[in-house]
Amino acid sequence: MTTQMMIELIAVLTAVRDDVPQVMTIDHGRLLPSGPLESTHRSLQAGVRAWVERQTGHPIGHVEQLYTFADHDRLLGAEQGRMIAISYLALTRSHAGETGWRDWYDYFPWENCKTDAGRDCLTIIERLLCKWVAGMDNAAVRVRQWQRCVTLFAIGDMVAWNDELVLQRYELLYEAGLVAEAGCTPESTVPGRAMHHDHRRILATGMARLRAKIRYRPVVFELMPEEFTLLQLQRVMESLSGVHIHKQNFRRLIMQQQLVEETGGIEEHTGGRPARLYRFCGEVRQARYLAGTKIPLAQP
């Protein structure tokens, strides 16, 4: 009855470079950093850190658990028992061009609504989903699924785009047969890079978690350099969420929450008036850290 299991640790390691969110990959972008839990690992987190740091050389800041999977897809041999995958979200500061980093939006172009490429991709998806539901026999099912498409992809502006529904959107596209999870279908009809196994889905889970978390916890600062201007901070937030932010309101909210303090330094090369430099000071203000953070994320 009871079977022994193999445990695999998988990391969605994210950094932001030149205002583009990136994820660490191996195998030419087809796999996330991952490896089996070993007896030398003192804990699951330690195991993830070991695997990731072996591949990047970076110390990782924030690490948090994402999800534990054990689908029947993940069966090993009949006698060997099942494979269980424990996934983690890890954040690190900007890197100096090591290999393995790939843009988030290479895998999920439709999630980058800020850019023309993202909007074009959404147009394609809209048409394909329309065709998908049109081909359904049952009218009630057709209506319900179209409703789902409309809310998830904000079709027709009836509903606002919700940037946190990365996973739900991916799963809808997967159900509709518009993405190839295993990468073995070269005629995948929606733009975007595929990954092996369910790694693309795990990446979606990590993106969704991070987009949700930056709204109420000051985790963005794990991705920022020691000193930064407020516009740099805003650009990072925007690139992660894929949504525009009203500049003046963003500053207002950041300042009034006292998450940052001036370093006294000035960034000269802004292309305009020089900007003040700030540093994160929420670590010491533990009260505020636990109380949570608010970020204004407006619609395009």
Partner DNA sequence: GCTATTTATGCTCATATTGAGTATAAGCCG
Partner DNA sequence: CGGCTTATACTCAATATGAGCATAAATAGC
Instruction: Quote the CA–CA distance of 1 and 62 in Å, as a whole number.
Output: 38
Asked if 286 touches its own copies (CB under 8 A), the answer is yes
One residue of 6, 44, 136, 275 binding DNA per CB under 7 A:
275
Work out whether 82 is an interface residue with its own copies (CB under 8 A): yes
258 sits near DNA (criterion: CB under 7 A): no
Nearer to DNA, 142 or 251 (CB): 251
* Residue pair 132/178 in contact by the 8 Å Cβ criterion: yes
Q: Which CB contacts under 8 angstroms, 24+ apart, belong to 105-109?
A: 105/20, 105/21, 105/242, 106/29, 106/192, 106/193, 107/23, 107/192, 107/193, 107/194, 107/195, 107/200, 107/203, 108/166, 108/170, 108/192, 108/203, 108/204, 108/207, 109/191, 109/192
Q: Considering beta carbons, is residue 150 or 275 the nearer one to its own copies?
A: 150
| Spatial separation of the C-alpha atoms in residues 255 and 103, rounded to whole Å | 30
Query: Quick check: 15 and 22 in contact, CB under 8 A?
Result: yes
Rule CB under 8 A: say whether 50 interacts with its own copies: no
Instruction: Mark residues 200-239: x for contact with DNA by CB under 7 A, - for none.
Output: -----------------------------xxx--------
- Write the DSSP assignment of 81-112 as a string of letters: -BEEEEEEEEE----SS-TTEEEHHHH-GGG-
Q: Which does 42 bind (CB under 5 to 8 A by kind): its own copies, DNA, none?
A: its own copies
Q: Smallest distance, Å, CB 103 to its own copies?
A: 26
175-214 mask for its own copies (x: CB under 8 A)?
Answer: ----------------------------------------
Contact criterion met (CB below 8 Å) for 179 and 131: no
Name which of 82 and 279 has its Cβ closer to its own copies. Answer: 82
* Interface with its own copies (CB under 8 A): 1-7, 36-40, 42-44, 65, 67-72, 81-82, 84, 86, 147-148, 150-152, 158-160, 162, 165, 168, 286-287, 290-291
* Interface with DNA (CB under 7 A): 229-231, 246-249, 251-253, 267-268, 270-276, 294, 296, 298-299
